[in-house]
Structure 1
Amino acid sequence: MQILTIHIFVSLGFICRDILSEYSRQVIELGSCLLKLTSEALGLDPNHLLDMGCGAGLAVLGHYYPPCPQPELTIGAPDHTDYDFITILLQDHVGGFKILYQNQWIDVHPKQGALIVNAGDLLQACISLYLKLNIVAILLVTNDKFVSSRHKVVANKVDPRVSVASFFMTETLQVIEPIKELLSKDNPAKYRGTTAKEYVDYFRAKGIDGTSALLHFKIQIN
């Protein structure tokens, strides 16, 4: 099993550094649990996804969305999917986070003590849900058995919104491809192998436009 090591920049403020370090450790523990449960849901050994390196890297990103006097004219974060394996999101009381489910945008209302878990492109869950002892299993590696969730953030005119997103990735040169144990003659690979670096580079070059970067890596099957 690959173990993730936390590197906290020394330049961070003392209080922020300690809080981020402790939060990251707890998020890693939760992420490892989610990846084990996902492996089991796929009929694999509990450590399968961890052994593949799906939890070998963690990026923690803070978001600040200021209030907007005319929120209908803008958006906090446009429609997109995440390019990681799983994302664990901590949001404040303001709200504004939405997911696309059955062609409808659904509000994910803030709930005290709850986290949001999104499946990313590199792992692919039907819906992102709250995690409060209710766990959602998680794409490319599952060969569409799980689908990454499209989501966005809408602006509001009253309060600023703050959130912290933790993205689980793998090493940049790690080859990512559909899990062989999930493939068969009737269920061939739908995506070509790639590296995390190639996928992220393409994702960033394409930009956030409401379409999935996965389409670029899909194998055309006659």
Structure 2
Amino acid sequence: MAAKIDATLGSYDRMKEVKEFDESKMGVKGLSDSGIMTIPHIFVHDPQTLSDLKPSSKNTTTAIPTIDLSHINSPAHRHKIVDQVKSAAKTFGFFHVINHGVPVSVLDETVNTVKAFHEQPHEDRAKYYKRNEGKGVMYATNTDLYRTSAASWCDSLQAWMAPERLKAEEIPEVCREGVVAWDLHATMVADDVLELLSEGLGLERRRFKELTFSEQRLLVGHCYPYCPQPDRTVGIKAHTDGSILTVLLRNHVPGLQVKHEKEWLDVEPVPGGLIINVGDMLQIISNGEYKSVEHRVLANSWKEARISIVIFFSLTKWREGGYYGPLPELLSPEKPPIYRDFTEQELQENFYSKGLDSKSLVDKLTIKN
């Protein structure tokens, strides 16, 4: 890559610096632990991105919905919960769920086990530092490090849990038990939510389960360490998830923001809660009934690391011919498809050909009238 010039940085060879940083296998956790006061050039974002990086206005009263699942199996209450989930998925694309069946002790242990991995000495973490997206276990800084114009201040441990069964011994020992257990707990929550979302579209409760909407699972344990210049970079830049559904668990350190009606909203922690968000594929499959929305993470100005564990759920069973698109049972002359069918190859190429971004798949598949 040719040298890039930035008025504030001077001239430098970006790809050379990216390669040197990547080959050091130290991650941003290593940079933070070293006590640096200035972040490397490769992490500095453009002025447009940096211009609105701030907590949401303290005057705003808008927040993503919180939905209580404690009566999910009660005939007297389920219809109301379905309506709440449907409304949240249509309006915000994000919502908290509480009383979801997972004990708080399990939530805490999951966060602690992922934190333990990231707090290991550099040489122990470095054993897993590699780039093999799509299978097994991978620890790295930014999956799109070589595809993006500016890196984000975040390290991630990825584990592809399914459909190919991941061998437990491939997972780092320090977090092995917690990762395996969380995959099971989060999948149970996702299956419950997918049932509610299915009913919200007027479909049979288990329709999404039959369509294998939760059978491909990627677990990612993010670490956002302290950043000495949080106004010059991001934790994760604004993007939408390409999956069907995402289940997110986090510690108390702030930073997550969701875009709602052109305003960035801080997502405050809810005790014992999990965050659910709609992915691009669910927006397409629901023919626009459910919405994936932009979200981002601010660079961490706290001395304590921000930890978040996400599981991305996607389908495994594609239609005959390898295509997918809006569900036929949701279409009618009054509600024609607004997205075209697409292939798994198109999905993969859209993700791996560029850096993290917002709704590029949705935009690409929208039928232009």
The residue type equivalent to 1:215 in the other structure is D
Match of 2:159 in 1: none
Match of 2:257 in 1: 98
Q: Normalised by the size of structure 1, how large is the TM-score? A: 0.85
The residue type equivalent to 2:365 in the other structure is F
Match of 2:295 in 1: 151
- Cα distance in 2 between the residues matched to 1:206 and 1:172: 26
Tell me if the contact between 1:77 and 1:154 (Cα under 8 Å) persists in the aligned partners. Answer: yes
Tell me if the contact between 1:71 and 1:155 (Cα under 8 Å) persists in the aligned partners. Answer: yes
Q: Deviations over 1:178-209 (max 9, x none)?
A: 01111111211111112344213212314224
The residue type equivalent to 2:170 in the other structure is S
Counterpart selection for 1:207 from 320, 330, 355: 355
Match of 2:223 in 1: 64
Counterpart selection for 1:79 from 213, 219, 238: 238
Alignment of 1:57-206 (within 5 A): 57-123=216-282, 139-158=283-302, 159-171=304-316, 175-206=323-354
The residue type equivalent to 1:38 in the other structure is L
Q: In the comparison of the two structures, how many residue pairs are matched? A: 204
Q: Deviations over 1:49-72 (max 9, x none)?
A: 111121111110011112112211
Match of 1:218 in 2: 366
Q: Runs of 4 or more off by more than 4 Å in structure 1?
A: 3-6
The 3-state SS of whatever aligns with 1:22 is helix
The residue type equivalent to 2:262 in the other structure is N
- Cα distance in 1 between the residues matched to 2:209 and 2:328: 15
In structure 2, the gaps of 5 or more residues are: 1-161
Structure with higher Rg: it is 2
- Cα distance in 1 between the residues matched to 2:274 and 2:261: 22
Q: Deviations over 1:125-161 (max 9, x none)?
A: xxxxxxxxxxxxxx11000001102100001222321
Tell me if the contact between 2:244 and 2:278 (Cα under 8 Å) persists in the aligned partners. Answer: yes
Tell me if the contact between 2:191 and 2:214 (Cα under 8 Å) persists in the aligned partners. Answer: yes
Tell me if the contact between 2:236 and 2:297 (Cα under 8 Å) persists in the aligned partners. Answer: yes
- Cα distance in 2 between the residues matched to 1:46 and 1:12: 34
Q: CA deviation at 1:22?
A: 1.1
The 3-state SS of whatever aligns with 2:249 is strand
Q: Deviations over 1:13-58 (max 9, x none)?
A: 3452221111111111111111111010000001111111211111
Tell me if the contact between 2:326 and 2:337 (Cα under 8 Å) persists in the aligned partners. Answer: yes
Q: CA deviation at 1:90?
A: 0.7
Tell me if the contact between 2:195 and 2:206 (Cα under 8 Å) persists in the aligned partners. Answer: yes
Match of 1:10 in 2: 169
Tell me if the contact between 2:168 and 2:180 (Cα under 8 Å) persists in the aligned partners. Answer: no
The structure with the largest helix share of the pair is 2
Of the structure 1 ranges 198-207 and 64-73, higher mean CA displacement relative to structure 2 is found in 198-207
- Cα distance in 1 between the residues matched to 2:357 and 2:187: 30
Cα RMSD over matched residues? 2.0
Q: CA deviation at 1:107?
A: 0.2
Larger RCO, structures 1/2 (Cα 8 Å, 6+ apart) = 1
- Cα distance in 2 between the residues matched to 1:24 and 1:201: 27
Overall identity of the aligned pairs, in %: 32
Q: CA deviation at 1:211?
A: 4.6
Relative to structure 1, the CA distance from residue 201 to residue 147 in structure 2 (aligned partners, 3 Å threshold; closer, same or farther) is: same
- Cα distance in 2 between the residues matched to 1:24 and 1:183: 34
Match of 2:192 in 1: 33
Relative to structure 1, the CA distance from residue 4 to residue 209 in structure 2 (aligned partners, 3 Å threshold; closer, same or farther) is: closer
Of the structure 1 ranges 191-200 and 74-83, higher mean CA displacement relative to structure 2 is found in 191-200
- Cα distance in 2 between the residues matched to 1:33 and 1:118: 14
The 3-state SS of whatever aligns with 1:37 is helix
Q: CA deviation at 1:212?
A: 3.0
- Cα distance in 2 between the residues matched to 1:207 and 1:172: 27
